[in-house]
Amino acid sequence: MAKLTVQFVCTECGSAASRWLGRCPGCNAFGTLVEELAGAEGGGGARPSAPVPLGEIETAESERIPTGVAELDRVLGGGLVPASLVLVGGEPGVGKSTLLLSALAAMSTSRRVLLVTGEESTAQVGLRAARLGGAEKVEILAETELATVCATLEAERPEVCVVDSVQTLYASELGSAPGSVAQVREAAGRLLRVAKQAGVATILVGHVTKDGAVAGPRVLEHLVDCVLQFEGDRYREHRVLRATKNRFGSTNELGVFEMTGDGLVGVPDPSELFGTTHPGEVGAAVACTLEGTRPILLEVQALVAPTDLAMPRRVGTGVDPKRLAMIVAVLGRHAGLGLGGADVFVNVAGGVRIDEPGADLAVALAIASAARGVPVAEGLAAFGEIGLTGRLRPASQAERRLGECAKLRIAVVLAPEGTGGPGGLRVEPVETIRAAIAAALEGRAPRVAEPAQAAARSAA
């Protein structure tokens, strides 16, 4: 086997140096050299290997492993794929260890599962296991030495393994400290090889940095098959799990959990929780957004407050700040709602983040309601993308959104022209943002559901 040597490689241009340098001699970039193991793959004496035609490969559509946590399965695209590598990232204390221990506990009833813990002692994990219950058969290994973890996995070959966390693993050949970019990359690379060769579905827990990237600037995301982000406010009980990359399923699926004393409980119907406004409240509107394939109703709240600042603030929690600035500008230009002398704050219920433009209309309605001091009509939900001309554009998968509205006793849905509606639900097509505000605030929409609709809904 080739001798292992350490070299420093530039992440920008790839040139190598034998010692660390602040500035890359190849491309003159600063601070881009990272430590790497050279010669680990026996380069010199390698033999050629025979390629195989794709058609001859056995595609026994390998069955997915249900994790026993329905919301996690949904985000993974129907369960864990055997021998895949999944990265779960999240802020400290958001509940990563809790979620994965409950999944391991559920899976341990029918298969062999292993928990590698580098962060907590076995006694600490035992405490959590006692709180969650049902984890008696989960095997646990307290180890941080990467070579030992890999050797154990190859020898024991459990079906599922959780490594909590990848930042604590340590390859002694590398000089840098655990958690450094070089160590984390080496750990993920070797675990990937073991996962594929030994057929272990491996879940890595990764810490996120201050700007939200897992383990430094996205070093692991390319390596792994699936990246899950566990989000939500540590101080509130709701947590949202979403896939930002998935080689075996759709991304942007959303799982919602509630943190309780007995662990994380899935919330199968988040619209019930997040999609209601208080009747008559100024500055609140219900958005019907789509997360992956899952429609979800979310309350959007806005506050418009006069300001003396030369540059008024536009602060959005859960909405994209650029999108918010655009909506405020369109409201000013095309709906006669000048907000130049006011701060605008927008907040989305439940710590959920809205990524899709279909929620534009509800954000605009909440702001308009706050600015005018008039509540949005009761029982009204809205979706649609706002264009720069003030015209509304149809949003994708309108039927799914309308279906969710019908399920949640919404009386009227404001939607762009050309959106067809299912029976039992009144869809009010609007062409422009100005027309939408008029319909929502000035009462063209009924304040309460009409009797005919109420009857249709109770029949549905």
User: Interface with Mg ion by CB under 5 A: which residues?
Assistant: 97
* Partner interacting with residue 277 (select from Mg ion, ligand ATP, none; CB below 5-8 Å by kind): none
Query: What is the DSSP code (8-state) at residue 357?
Result: G
Interface stretch with ligand ATP, choices 47-55, 88-96, 317-325, 344-352 (CB under 6 A): 88-96
CB of residue 88 vs ligand ATP: minimum separation in angstroms?
Answer: 9
Identity of the residue, 97 or 271, whose beta carbon is nearer to Mg ion in the bound complex: 97
Minimum gap (Å) between residue 91 Cβ and ligand ATP: 7
Using CB positions, name the residue nearest to Mg ion: 97
Cα 148–chain centre separation: 32
- Shortest distance in whole angstroms from residue 206 CB to Mg ion: 11
d(CA 114, CA 202): 9
93 touches ligand ATP by CB under 6 A: yes
Q: Where are the alpha helices (DSSP H) in 264-349?
A: 270-274, 321-334
Instruction: Tell whether residue 437 is a contact of ligand ATP (CB under 6 A).
Output: no
Residue closer to ligand ATP, measured from CB, 95 or 318: 95
The Cα–Cα gap between 415 and 398 comes to: 9
Provide the minimum distance between the beta carbon of 226 and ligand ATP in the complex, in angstroms, as a whole number.
18
Site for ligand ATP in 339-398 (CB under 6 A): none
Least Å distance between CB 126 and Mg ion?
A: 14
Residues 98-117: x where in contact with ligand ATP by CB under 6 A, - otherwise, as a string: x-------------------
Distance of CA 110 to the CA centre of its chain: 29
Place of tokens 């204390």: 93
Measure the CA–CA gap between 356 and 358, rounded to whole angstroms: 5
Which of 90, 138, 132 is closest to 113 using CA atoms? 138
Minimum CB–partner distance for residue 263 and ligand ATP (Å): 8
| Beta carbons of 231 and 94 less than 8 angstroms apart | yes
Nearest-approach distance from CB 225 to Mg ion, in angstroms: 22
The stretch near ligand ATP (CB under 6 A) out of 62-70, 86-94, 211-219, 425-433 is: 86-94
Calculate the CA 265 to chain-centre distance. Answer: 17
The partner in contact with residue 95, picked from Mg ion, ligand ATP, none with C-beta cut-offs of 5 to 8 angstroms by kind, is: ligand ATP
Q: Are 132 and 102 in contact (CB under 8 A)?
A: yes
Q: Does 95 bind ligand ATP (CB under 6 A)?
A: yes
Among candidate residues 415, 380, 381, 411, the one with its CA nearest the CA of residue 398: 415
Q: Give all strands (DSSP E) within 333-451, no chain letters.
A: 342-348, 380-382, 385-386, 392-393, 412-416, 426-430
d(CA 85, CA 410) in angstroms, rounded, equals: 41
Q: Which is nearer to Mg ion, 131 or 278 (CB)?
A: 131
If you count them, how many residues does the chain have? 460
Q: Is 169 in the site for ligand ATP (CB under 6 A)?
A: no
Q: Whole-number minimum distance, CB 166 to Mg ion, in Å? A: 12
Look at residue 92 and give the partner it binds from Mg ion, ligand ATP, none, a contact being a CB closer than 5 to 8 Å depending on partner kind.
ligand ATP
94 binds, among Mg ion, ligand ATP, none (CB under 5 to 8 A by kind): ligand ATP
By three-state DSSP, how is residue 24 classified? coil
Total binding residues for ligand ATP by CB under 6 A?
Answer: 13
Bridge partners of 295?
290
Q: Are 97 and 118 in contact (CB under 8 A)?
A: no
Q: Which stretch binds ligand ATP (CB under 6 A): 41-49, 61-69, 90-98, 442-450?
A: 90-98
CA atoms within 13 A on the CB side of 68: 18
Distance of closest approach, residue 121 Cβ to ligand ATP, in angstroms: 13
What is the distance between the alpha carbons of residues 374 and 274, in angstroms, rounded to a whole number?
Answer: 22
- Select the residue interacting with ligand ATP from 76, 194, 240, 259 (CB under 6 A): 259
Query: Would you give the binding string for ligand ATP spanning residues 126-145, x where CB under 6 A is met?
Result: -----x--------------
Distance CA 441, CA 342 (A): 20
Helix (H, G, I), strand (E, B) or coil at 444: coil
Beta partners for 87?
204, 227
Task: State the minimum distance, in angstroms, from the CB of residue 113 to ligand ATP.
Answer: 17
261 binds, among ligand ATP, Mg ion, none (CB under 5 to 8 A by kind): ligand ATP
Please report how close the Cβ of residue 166 comes to ligand ATP at its closest, in angstroms.
12
According to the binding rule CB under 6 A, does residue 234 interact with ligand ATP? Answer: yes
Cα dihedral: 325, 329, 334, 337 (round 10): 100
* Six-digit token string for 93: 């204390």
Interaction of residue 51 with ligand ATP, rule CB under 6 A: no
Q: Which residues bind ligand ATP (CB under 6 A)?
A: 90, 92-98, 119, 131, 234, 259, 261
